[in-house]
Structure 1
Amino acid sequence: MASQRLASIILLLSLFTISSSRPDNGGIAVYWGQDGREGDLVTACNSGNYKIVLLAFLNKFGAGRTPAWNFAGHCDNGASKKCTELESEIRQCQEKGIRVLLSIGGAPHYSDYSLSSPENAKEVADYLYERFLSGQFGPLGNVMLDGIDFDIEKTEDYWDDLARKLDFFRRTTGRYFYLSAAPQCPTNPIYYLGKAIATKLFDYIFVQFYNNPSCSYTTGTNAVLNSWDQWVDLVPSNNSLFVGLPAASSAGNGYIPAEVLNDQVLPHAKQASNYEGVMLWDRYRDVQNGYSNSILSNVLKSKLPVSVESVSDGIYPSVYKA
């Protein structure tokens, strides 16, 4: 019995390691792909500053549209380099342990996307899985990206259906991938992604604390911290929260100077058990401003060790903060 019990514990812990999205030591997520001057993807990953890189964007899809993407000057859009050549760069990033996700959506003024029905959401999910998550040939080559990011900035309908269908794939195909959402900071209501976030299926929530004066940094940190607390209460403890910020004052209203973030915002944010780190818009501004270099050591937190607790007749792994 003792050996069977030990075997069960080991099995459950191994499964937990594979499928869990709970935070480890925290880190920085960054959007890459919206300015050709930001440098290539490998250089971004080699910087050592990022835990997650979000490829921006698949910006045309749904409702009968032929899917299209915009990675600024990096590939396809008038450039000589085809996006399939990003395959080797994506693999190099993944080999370093950096998670590479495809971001879908983007700002409405240069994007054309929507979902017309639950059935259409399933069609888009099929496309995303087959072309970006399965290892089959797609716009980025034969890649298996680490997940899909929802940067949805128009319409509310059927994004929850898309999340459920993608979740079905990761539960039934034997390969866990990540889902993230990048909502704007207001919570009453949550613009565009409220129904989707209510599914509780998103591993990462990159809250955009910018371009919304009611919850962005203007003359002080109160608005940001109050909004952060609302998000902590709103998001389940197994969904990881990121403080989403412009990496430079030119990237959007709500830029927080590095010293203010380090001294006033992050100490408060890290009190939340599901704090995971900082999301930056975007890589180009970060290169110009050196923002991630100035905050990285303060973004990180203690690792979360795994303990085993006895629950009823079974043994279940749990995570607690050190």
Structure 2
Amino acid sequence: MAWENWTTVTEFIFKGLTDHPGFQGTLLTVFLVIYVTTVVGNLGILIVVWLDSHLQIPMYFFLSNLSFLDVCYSSAVTPKVLVNYSLERKTTSFAGCLIQLYFYAAFATTECYLLAVMAYDRDVAICIALHSHVVAFFNPLILTGSALRMSFCGPNFIDHFFCDGCPLLKLACSGPHLSQVLMLVSGGFSEVSTTSVVLISNCCIRATILRMDSTKGRYKAINTCASHLTAVAIFCGTLLFMYLRPSSSYSLGRDKIISVFYVVVTPMLNPLIYSLRNKEVKNALKRA
């Protein structure tokens, strides 16, 4: 029993998105541009909401929280990817891999909950959001805790560009089935429940929109709902596809491409979807 928890693998080697050496420089440039755009865009929204008194209302409280999460969420993965693409040997320590897995899962789960409570533009939703952050950071402890109990005796090549749950579990010599069940239950509950809340809320909003007499007001409301649903579809939809399906249907080549969208692209798109299309935010940027 003592040897079951013993880890012989001390580091993991990433295979990345592709083994072709000619694409490494291109991928480094693309990831760097996306990351810089993500950080600048989201920090810009944070600063504007903080400085402009006109934006001190619940809706912009949520948007600033979303921007903060997007910076943290992207920073949990992308800087390490950038370092790896600048090196010939893409490695990470065992501890570093689990730390990345925890924070990536924690920020992703928190964003799921935040997108759900953003369906309510009420002060009470702020309290819900703050409590859901605590739950979201506790949830990944189940996955990382179970990974600590598994044995990794080789090989140590992760067929991915970061420490995601599914590729990591494939390398375990013992206990991967229990971890797969735990990942399915804990992750599935968060993703399904939050996505359901968003869909139900938007259905109620749409019913209200249809009863509106003002064409201008109806257009504005539909535009707001469409923005929120677009963000949820890109982020939660890809997460649901990745984690809530049988392990036999995994295709690492396809899954790596899909994971780029919810890990790298979505944090860049959120400021464009939510904030930069908003007239009040545009005016606040001009004033700043």
TM over 0.5: no
> What TM bracket, shorter-length normalisation?
under 0.3
TM-score of the superposed pair, with normalisation by structure 1? 0.22
Structure number with the bigger relative contact order (C-alpha 8 A, sep ≥ 6) is 2
Which is greater in Rg? 2
Greater percentage in strand: 1
Greater percentage in helix: 2
